[in-house]
Amino acid sequence: MAIHISKKADLDAKLKEAGNNLVLIDFYAQWCGPCKIIGPRLDEELVPEFPDLVLIKIDVDEAEEIVEEYEIHSMPTFVFIKNSTKIEQFAGGPYEKVRDTVKKLK
C-alpha cells in the first residue's frame, strides 16, 4: 500500500525507516492524465509483486519543498532510493519500465 507524504520531515523519516529496502517515490498530480493511468497499477500490481518495496506517493501540488529538492519538472516522475540515496530517476514511461527498474534495483 502506498504512503502519501507532503512534508519533507515525514519523507526523511520514512526513507530512514526503509533502510536497505528499495523505495519508489511516485511524484504525481491530480490533474495529470498519465498519472491517473499508472498510479493505480503501482498499488494493484507492483506492490503485491514486490512486497519489500516501499511505495511513496507525493502530490506535487502539496509538497513544494520536496518537489524542489528532487527537481521535479514533469509528472509522473519516479525516483528510486536505497539506503537514503537516490539511485535512479526518470519521468514518464510505461508501467513496464517502472516494473523493470524495480526488478533491476531490488
Q: Which three cell numbers stand for residue 63?
A: 509538497
- Which residues on adjacent β-strands are paired with residue 59? 28
Q: How far apart are CA 56 and CA 91, in angstroms?
A: 16
Find the catalytic residue in 32, 46, 53, 63.
32
Q: How far apart are CA 16 and CA 101, in angstroms?
A: 21
Q: How far apart are CA 61 and CA 80, in angstroms?
A: 20
60 a catalytic residue = no
Find the catalytic residue in 35, 63, 72, 102.
35
32 a catalytic residue = yes
Instruction: Give residue 18's identity as a one-letter amino acid code.
Output: A
Supply the residues annotated as catalytic.
32, 35
